[in-house]
Amino acid sequence: MLLKNVQLAETHQKSGAKMVPFAGYNMPVRYSSDKEEHNTVREAVGIFDVSHMGEFLISGPSALALVQKVTSNDASKLSVGKAQYSYLPNVDGGIVDDLLVYQIKEEQYMLVVNASNIDKDWNWITKYNEDIGADMRNISDQFSLFAVQGPRATETLQKLTSVNLSEVKFYTFEVGAFAGVDHVILSATGYTGAGGFEIYLHNKDAEHIWNEVLKAGEEFGIKPIGLGARDTLRMEMGYCLYGNDIDDTTSPLEAGLGWVTKFTKDFINKENLEKQKEAGATKKLISFKMEDRGIPRQGYDLLNADNQVIGKVTSGTMSPTLSIGIGLGYLEIEYAHPGTDIFVSVRNKSLKAKVSKLPLIK
């Protein structure tokens, strides 16, 4: 398969980034080391190029009706300048994708979807739009997206805009001038738990804005950050990654997405999910910390004290913050309580771990 390039692929290569195929794109996985980049975001500020993500504009008098039909959360609660986390349920009780929904104007929404699912999501939503008739535009290839994350992110970005960023609350956004460029979306969202903003901009402005952010963050030790650290940062927070922790076969209720499943409105597969909720989950997505030395990996079995398989690891890594192995996985419900001792099967050894509350770091 021919890989697509983000707008700044050449810039990343010149910066010494190791490029790898990810979700159909040629992406920077690291510039220095995952640990150094991870710690930069936790302690100061880093900038990620996540322009591989997809963006759809849904507009017109029927826009809300379409968004309500295909997403699980209640988009009628949004107003201009607000965003919400949601997912696209499928008809089999699984998840087409998880996404962000932004209300851009009175009758316009932007859906931000995972790169690996752009075509799948577009086709899925288009199918349900046949009866609804909203205006749909796939603008994924025209936009770049940078995530500036870390405790010094606001100070860094404030140098480049007159928008008062300290007043932009979590899951809200402003459209304004940034680094001399008009109509940039500054969104108080992110995937690291370290605080910061995501910046949506036209491809033609990508290099200018990337360089300006790096200059503005110089005094705080800003660094470009790759996908490797993005993964370890999100695991410490327990954030799901589509394709690992959730997919077409996983139940959103077992994945802990009941909080964005609003049964007060009509949406795809609502009835079956309601039945599932009434019946109660048989397994649950949990997070855990290793007590024995070892790194859990996707697909490893989770065991009880009698060596019986009670679940599977969906994501695992060595936590740079805690210096221990951590992971996410599905467990049979009776073992899913924080504090429960479990074991991870690593190369025919049973290594002790403990089910832990999220986030895994303070």
In the chain, what are the domains? 1-239+247-280 (3.30.1360.120), 282-356 (2.40.30.110)
* Amino acid 317: pLDDT: 98
pLDDT of residue 2: 87
Q: Of the candidates 74, 62, 102, 84, which has an alpha carbon nearest to the alpha carbon of residue 267? A: 74
- What CA–CA distance (Å, rounded) separates 281 from 126? 31
d(C-alpha 235, C-alpha 298), whole Å? 12
Asked whether 95 and 252 are in contact (CB, 8 A), the reply is yes
CA distance 290 to 322: 10
pLDDT for residue 157: 98
If phi over 0 gives left and psi between -120 and 50 gives alpha, with beta otherwise, what is residue 269? left
Question: What pLDDT, on the 0 to 100 scale, is given for residue 362?
Answer: 85
Q: Which residues of the chain have pLDDT under 70?
A: none
Q: Please name the residue that has the structure tokens 């997070």.
A: 287
- What is the rounded CA–CA span in Å between residue 9 and residue 123? 27
Task: Encode pLDDT of 1-52 as tens digits.
Answer: 789 999 999 999 999 999 999 999 999 999 999 999 999 999 999 999 999 9
Give the helix ranges, DSSP H, for 82-226: 118-129, 153-158, 206-216
Sheet holding 196-202, edge to edge: 173-178, 181-187, 196-202, 143-149, 46-49, 223-225
Q: What's the pLDDT score for residue 21?
A: 97
In the three-class reduction of DSSP (H, G, I as helix; E, B as strand; rest coil), residue 180 is classed as coil
Query: What is the spatial distance between Cα 154 and Cα 131, in angstroms, rounded to a whole number?
Result: 43
